[in-house]
Chain A
Amino acid sequence: MITTNTASRLLTAAALIVGIALPMVLSDFHVFQATQMMVYAIAILGLNLLTGYNGQISLGHGAFYAIGAYAAAILMARFELSYFVALPLAAIICFIVGFLFGLPALKLEGHYLALATFALALAVPQLLKYPAFEHWTGGVQGIFVNKPEAPFGIPLSTDHWLYYFTLAVTLLVFVLASNLLHGRVGRAITAIRDQPVAAEAMGINIALYKATTFGVSALYTGLAGGLSAIVIQFIAPDSFTMFLSIFLLVGLVIGGVGSIPGAFLGAAFIVITPNIASDISKAATGAVYGLLLITFVYLVPNGAWGALTVGWKRLAGMTRRS
Chain B
Amino acid sequence: MNGIAQQPAAVIPVGVAEGTPLLDVRNVVVRFGGIVALQDISFTIPRGLIVGLIGPNGAGKTTLFNCLSRLYQPTSGEIFFDGHSLLSVPRHKIAALGLGRTFQNVALFDNMTVEDNVLVGGHIQGTSGFLANAFKPPYVRREEAALRARAGELIDFMNLGAYRRHRAGGLPFPIRKRVELARALMTRPRLLLLDEPAAGLNHEEVENLKGQIHSLRDHYDVTVLLVEHHMNLVMSISHKIVAIDFGRKIADGTPDEVRREPKVIQAYLGLEA
Interface residues of chain A, those whose CB is within 8 Å of chain B, are 176-177, 179-180, 183-188, 190-191, 193-195, 197-206, 212, 216, 258
CB distance B136 to A202 under 8 Å?
Answer: no
A26 CB, nearest partner CB in chain B, Å: 31
B101–A183 touching, CB < 8 Å: no
Residue contact B135 to A176, C-beta cutoff 8 Å: yes
> Is B73 at the interface (CB under 8 A from chain A)?
no
| Residues of chain A with a CB closer than 8 A to B103's CB | 197-198
Q: Are B136 and A216 in contact (CB under 8 A)?
A: no
Q: In the bound complex, do residue A186 and residue B133 qualify as a contact, i.e. CB atoms below 8 Å apart?
A: yes
Check B136 against A204 for contact (C-beta < 8 Å): no
B110 interface residue (CB < 8 Å to A): yes
B91 engages A200 (CB within 8 Å): yes
Segment at the interface with A among B21-29, B118-126, B209-217, B225-233: B118-126
On whether the beta carbons of A183 and B183 are closer than 8 Å, the reply is: no
Q: Please determine whether A187 and B135 come into contact, CB atoms closer than 8 angstroms.
A: no
Question: Known contacts A191-B120, A203-B96, A212-B130; is A184 also within 8 Å of B110 by CB?
Answer: no
CB distance from A204 to the nearest CB of B (A): 6
Shortest distance between the CB of A158 and any CB in chain B (Å): 30
B40 at the interface (CB under 8 A from A): no
Q: Are A203 and B93 in contact (CB under 8 A)?
A: yes
Query: Contact check: which of A179, A201, A203 meets B133 at CB < 8 Å?
Result: A179
Binds A, one of B7-15, B140-148, B264-272: B140-148
Contact of A206 among B92, B110, B126 (CB under 8 A): B92
A179→B136 CA distance, assembly (Å):
7
B69: nearest chain-A partner, CB-CB: A201
How many angstroms from the CA of A186 to the CA of B116 in the assembled complex? 10
Nearest chain B CB to A96 CB, angstrom units: 14
A43 to chain B, nearest CB (A): 18
Is B187's CB under 8 angstroms from A202's CB?
yes
Tell me, in angstroms, the Cα distance from A203 to B92 when the chains sit together. 4
> What are some 24 contacts across the A-B interface (CB < 8 A)?
A176-B134, A179-B134, A183-B128, A183-B133, A184-B123, A184-B126, A184-B128, A184-B140, A184-B143, A185-B133, A190-B116, A193-B111, A194-B110, A195-B108, A195-B109, A197-B103, A198-B109, A201-B100, A201-B101, A202-B120, A202-B123, A203-B93, A203-B95, A203-B123
CB-CB nearest 5 A-B residue pairs: A203-B95, A203-B124, A194-B109, A198-B107, A185-B133
Please measure, in the bound complex, the distance between the C-alpha atom of A106 and the C-alpha atom of B120, giving whole angstroms.
Answer: 22
State how many angstroms separate the Cβ of A6 from the closest Cβ of chain B.
15
Taking a contact as CB atoms under 8 Å apart, the answer to whether B123 and A201 are in contact is no
Cβ-neighbour of A199 out of B120, B129, B147 (below 8 A): B120
Cβ-defined contact, B134 with A188, below 8 A: no
Across the interface, name the chain A residue whose C-beta is closest to B122. A184
Residues of A within 8 A of B100 (CB): 201
A183 adjacent to B136 (CB under 8 Å): yes
Given known contacts A177-B134, A187-B112, A190-B109, is B128 in contact with A202 (CB within 8 Å)?
A: no
Q: How far is the CB of B195 from chain A (nearest CB, A)?
A: 11
Contact, CB under 8 Å: A201 / B94: yes
Give the CA-CA distance A201 to B93 in the complex, in Å.
Answer: 8
- B71 an interface residue at 8 Å Cβ cutoff? yes
Q: What residue of chain B has the Cβ atom nearest to residue A198's Cβ?
A: B107
Chain B: which residue is nearest A205 at the CB level? B92
- When the two chains form their complex, are residues A185 and B130 in contact, meaning their CB atoms are under 8 A apart? yes
Q: Which residues of A are found within 8 Å of B108, using beta-carbon distances?
A: 194-195, 198
Q: Are A194 and B111 in contact (CB under 8 A)?
A: yes
The answer to whether B101 touches A187 (Cβ under 8 A) is no
- Chain B residues with CB under 8 A of A258: 111
Q: Is the CB of A202 within 8 A of B130?
A: no
- Cα–Cα, bound, A203→B93 (Å): 6
Determine the distance from Cα of A195 to Cα of B69 in the docked complex, in whole angstroms: 15
Task: Please tell me if the beta carbons of B95 and A202 are within 8 angstroms of each other in the complex.
Answer: yes
Chain B residue nearest in CB terms to A206: B92
Q: Are A195 and B107 in contact (CB under 8 A)?
A: yes
Could you tell me the distance in whole angstroms from the C-beta of A169 to the nearest C-beta in chain B?
Answer: 14
Minimum distance in angstroms from B171 CB to a CB of chain A: 14
B128 touches A187 (CB 8 A): no
Residue of A nearest to B186 (CB): A202
CA A179 – CA B116 in complex, angstroms? 15
| Interface core residue of B69, B91, B130, B144 (most chain A CB under 10 Å) | B130
Taken together as a complex, chains A and B put the C-alpha atoms of A190 and B111 apart, in Å, by 8
CA distance A248 to B41 in the complex (A): 54
In angstroms, Cα B109 to Cα A191, docked, is 6
Contacts of B96 in A (CB 8 A): 203
Cα–Cα, bound, A183→B120 (Å): 10
Contacts of B107 in A (CB 8 A): 195, 197-198
Q: In this complex, which of A176, A198, A202 has the most chain B Cβ atoms within 10 angstroms of its Cβ?
A: A202
By a CB distance below 8 angstroms, the chain B residues around A193 are 111
Q: How far is the CA of A197 from the CA of B106 in the complex (A)?
A: 11
C-alpha gap A258/B78 in the complex (Å): 43
